[in-house]
Structure 1
Amino acid sequence: MDETFVPSETVRTDGVCGRLFHGLGDGPHPGVLVLHGGGGARGYEGTYAAMLAEHGYTVCCVEYFGAPGTRDALVDVPLEEFRDAADWLLDRPDVAGDRVGVVGFSRGGEASLVVGARFDAFGAVVAYVPSCFRWQGPSWMAGVGPNQPTWTLDGDPLPYLRIEKHVATDEIDDPLGNVGPNPPRLALERASAAERDAAAIPVERIEGPVLLVSGGRDTLWPSAEMASRAAARLANRDHPWRVEHLENPDAGHAIRVPYRFDGTTDPTATHEFGGTNAANARAATRAWQRTLSTLARL
């Protein structure tokens, strides 16, 4: 499916930066935000959003760093930007309902849980290979120091887990964790209970269904463990809406757009972020079907 077949437009207005995909068919349509990960907007989010639009959703891919009109790096991002994007979407005459869904990938999955737990505008949360904790800004980015927050609220940084505090440089053979210890995993294991408690996302405050998607062979961070922690927290605190943790033991971090294999991709090859291409493709297809089911509960 080519996303160009779905009507879309660039958005640079009212503090909202991104791309809007218009739902196909008679509207108004439910609204959904799609949040990219720590690599910035790479294009697959647009394809994913276009597929949602084909299924009758009006979708805004929010660009919150690394794009024109936004900051250069994933640091000091006000959560209010996501709230404002949701409110902007809800104010549109072609969007139905009083709450939107949010789908995020990786750091965007972290963000989807954070904003879902913070703002009433969000009614269903889908988090692909997410974290159940807030993490520091990625210090490997140009201009980012080792101790800067990713998210702020009302101008104040939200507590976060630090990697450099717990992981020495000489312990890391590969910053992505493909060889040697995985830095976020080490940091998570070595953080104190008080540090983990302070950085934990209060997912039980989400007022709607939650879908967590993880890969057991994720080499960027332990998404399966962190998604399990989020699911357990929701269960232990009697979250009244449907919660699902879709575990994919053989998949890695690149669980993204479904149905995208082509003749040039070796299904048996291992992806740089873990899991084989075939396992990641199967996981993406399973997650897509569960996502549609979750968003249908908006």
Structure 2
Amino acid sequence: MTLVSHYKSSRCAISFELFPPKTAAGMDALAKSIEQLNQFSPSYFTCTYGAGGSTRDTTLDVVEKVKELTGLPVASHLTCVGSTVEQLESFLQDAASRSVDYIVALRGDPPQGSDQFEAVEGGFRYANELVELIHDRFPQFSMAVAGYPEVHQEATSAKSDLENLKRKVDAGADIIITQLFYNNDDFYRFRDACVAEGISVPIIPGILPVTNFKQAERIASMCKAEIPSTLAKTMSQNDDPKYQFNVGVDHARNQTLNLIENQVEGIHYYVLNKSEAAAKLLNGLELAAG
């Protein structure tokens, strides 16, 4: 089953993104979250991949565990950061041996302390090069790539950002999963621009519920995502954790409902390894695996 096949149903397919825990206790807690999230019939789970390969083995451990617990397809992230082509191929061979289904192919962020990406000797500089490698050498993997509704922070313009995205799609990407956003109009503008650019693969919006305003501000600043002024004002007026959780989840639920009304093919949720927010916002919605 390819990634595209999940989005051919008339229903809105959902997926969840996890990250590798640092401790055994974290892995146990993640297993409980996975079991709760699985009740919402996701199409697949993804797991992030640490900068410079710092979580390479743990990422594959997580996706193996998810597959064991759910029986669902799984995707591993893979970045170009700090890796030679030989190391990337080694990871992909390991992923294949562990029955990973999909790869989320990314250039990756610059190493901590640097504001500029630099390829290692013998490595790749651009995500489309990684996509091309996987397409040519590991065709068993269906691939997702990243899109940026509010423009990638290193892009010189929205047009150049779209041109780069099209290069990734033309190199063999099957779907686009977007960076998080909090204003759906940003996504709709991006989707229309992709169509105008000749991009025809499924474009899946990525949603991260705001459950802690300070944390949301930090994450949003890292990826240059704007938090709507009304949401910021409402959340900042009360620092009670339960209040902030409820306001943020309600916003994400309203985003979800509006996206469904505007006929998105699926939604990808960044759950930060916790199930409570996603469970509350999805409860009662008619969403199921595509």
TM-score (norm 2): 0.37
Of Structure 1 and Structure 2, the greater strand share is in 1
More helix as a share of residues: 2
Higher RCO structure, 1 or 2 (CA under 8 Å, sep 6+): 2
Provide TM-score, normalisation by structure 1: 0.36
